Amino acid sequence: MSVEFPGRPLLFVAHPDDETLACGGMLQRLPQSLVVFATDGAAPGYGCERKFGSLKAYSDLRFNEASSALAHIPNASFQRLSKPDGSYFIELHLFEELPAAAISLRQIVQSFSPDAIISHAYEGAHMDHDACSFLAFHVAAALSLVCYEFPLYWLNARKQVVRQRFRDADLVGSGKLHDAATDVLEWRLSEAEIECKRRMLAEYDTQQGTVSAFETGSERMRLAASTSESFSIALCRSYMYQERRPRFYHTHRHRLSAKALLKKFAEFEDWQQRRPDWRRSW
């Protein structure tokens, strides 16, 4: 199946700024698009409440930034996943509530009626990114939609950050990941598109230390895997994670085993098998 540029995609990302980093140029080329954010963007336990007054205040600020960023693009809008009680999924804890997140995403997808879902590639770097990749795959499969993936960042064997390149070039042929390297769709942004993308990124004042490290001149995506086999393989040893507020904020000491994420993936697939209506229209 060849890679074709979607005309009315739904872009599903973990946090505010992910959409601009990965697809800020593409969004400018679309007549209409919807960005769906998976989490509240305010991970507990890392001191954000001390700097911004509360985690809610920090989350609200991040979504105000997202609103300002997407305002640079005509006909771009966003929604947020929500739980049955109306609350939002907490950053770094999305993997704990995959069925509820999948139901929320499915409802938004059915309402928007996109021709494709675009989301994170499974990279083994950020737990929320990988959870989004997993959710996008399963919701797209349930609704018979094309699913695309984009790269954001991962760590190579020397623990160096690799940004905006698919990580499986060294895994293709090993049986660990699907071979889609020849099907990558890459596009160069025009000077006007680059300038607009830079203005969008500038709206993310709280994330400047992160977004400044990414290039703005090109973007890429490809078709996602056609089976869920990749999601049974750990691509890292552990992920950043914090369950409760520590006495001191040494974030490098707070990790969660990748096996815990894979266990939640497996639990979701068991849940899905028990839902005979999952692949039918609701």
Whether the Cβ atoms of residue 40 and residue 90 lie closer than 8 Å to each other: yes
Is residue 187 classed as helix, strand or coil in its secondary structure? strand
Q: What is the Cα–Cα distance from 200 to 69, expressed in whole angstroms? A: 4
What's the mean per-residue pLDDT of the chain? 90
- Compute CA 26 distance to the chain's CA centroid, rounded to the nearest angstrom: 16
Confidence grade of residue 239 (pLDDT, cut at 50, 70, 90): very high
Predicted TM-score of the model (pTM): 0.92
136, 100 in Cβ contact below 8 A?
Answer: no
Q: Kindly report the CA angle at 253 between 236 and 238, in degrees rounded to 5?
A: 15
**Predicted local confidence at residue 68, as pLDDT:** 98
The CATH homologous superfamily of the domain defined by 9-273: LmbE-like (3.40.50.10320)
Model pLDDT, residue 248: 45
* Coil vs helix vs strand at 143: coil
Among 49-53, 84-88, 193-197, 242-246, whose mean pLDDT is lowest?
242-246
User: Tell me, what's the pLDDT at 175?
Assistant: 47
- Tell me the pLDDT band of 71, cut-offs 50, 70 and 90: very high
The tens digit of pLDDT for each residue in 47-65 reads: 888 889 999 999 999 999 9
What are the residue ranges spanned by the domains of the chain? 9-273
- Measured CA to CA, the distance from residue 47 to residue 35 in angstroms comes to 28
**What is the predicted pLDDT for the residue at 254?**
72
Is 50 exceeded by the pLDDT of residue 174?
no
Of all residues in the chain, the percent with pLDDT exceeding 70 is 89
Residue 69 scores a pLDDT above 50: yes
Spatial separation of the C-alpha atoms in residues 122 and 246, rounded to whole Å: 29
